[in-house]
Structure 1
């Protein structure tokens, strides 16, 4: 009997909300129901989720397809916030695929939409990302000056962490190292255990490690790289892990045995990622700290890799440029 009573109570607790909603719907009374959700907005959110998941594993073409579908759904929903987010994500994956023109076009669309919506954060985010891309492509306008940007970008707590991170990278590329250091530190002091924040903190520590190395502060560079590895072990970021290991292997802080071990780990990760440029750097560094009997084998492996990369470059340059249809 007790079991029957308990089961009946569970059914009542489950059914009451349903019956109550059904009653309100039928009567059309004064109680207001929540607004229905726009199905196109739901579709856009789902496609964005799929695209971000693909980005995590560097499946760039899959991510691009998801973000293009998300963009279409966001436009059908007439949701300018989502449209801007989709264009921004498309810019990121196009940059990763070396589609510079497509990425620049996407960033300009984000800037236009964020101005329309008076979205200060997204406007700054896209402006910095575009400047970074132009700097890397040696296409940054001569009129651009870092001092034109708000000074608060280089102070803790004023902007979202990703914006501080982009400002730091831009300052570092422009050899404004004190500003870069301040902006990186504005990220590392953030509190939280969110995966995205931990990834940004790892990237900020990597930036600080490179700044320390440029300043010949090798022990500080090693320590910052250790912070990178600590964060990467929590979230799974193999490429960033390899970068930190490669840097440590190049620093004359540990003995050669420890450096070889770190470089070998970096080489293994780069190989698993099919990153030829990373493998080349790791092999070249390994040769410098290798034992006498190991050097010839590593030299041969490096030469084979150089030949392979050279052949792939020639083949890529000989292919006609076509736009992929998704």
Structure 2
């Protein structure tokens, strides 16, 4: 029996007939003034109220392959002051955590990390790839960060000599997310049970930035099937590991959607959310040295 639940406002992709002939896209760059089509996106979203169950007390009841996410504890690292501390101490600790908690993690490649904050100074989606310490605001969209095309292209780009062999094995893209400094009061991270997702819920979207093109998955709203939950007042030593992609067709959950939401009721005084997310590729049936982000 889960704990209390609340209704949260989450943004979902709104289906448009346009998507039958034009792939969804979003551009995070400046367009030349002489380009006829000045659209930066063809996406349309709608805000829906979703029941989000509090799983406090049931954190151990979930499985990566069954649900797409797990909660674990991790001591230390309640505050990360600079990039050197993140890359020199925190990322190696995340690798150790993944080796302990993820089955058959033969090789791990950490390819990205990012700070997020809910204060007024945080950026709103304007990713600075050169400064991962510059925080982004919490994302309120139901989504997965890595579409299949992005995963394949990343493996090919990072491991040009080994890509063919690596792609024959199992590939999982995992996100490791945890609060910093304080427990989460205002913008908790909600997870959608991967076993409650239908393939028709997910729409692949091209995300175009100055330095690269990637794909992610936004979700349509499916109230009759999607099952959303969160860990109330998640502490800095509580970590959620969730899937963005899994190449194994036999598992029940190849990914879990996620979205942050604003609590219905908040105390008059509280600390804004601070968090860090780390993205890693986990290879199974792979050999060779681990490669870490610099």
Which structure's residues are more often strand, by fraction?
A: 2
TM-score higher than 0.5? no
Compare CA radii of gyration and give the structure with the larger one.
1
- Looking at both structures, which has the greater relative contact order when contacts are Cα pairs under 8 Å and sequence separation is at least 6? 2
* Shorter-chain TM-score tier: under 0.3
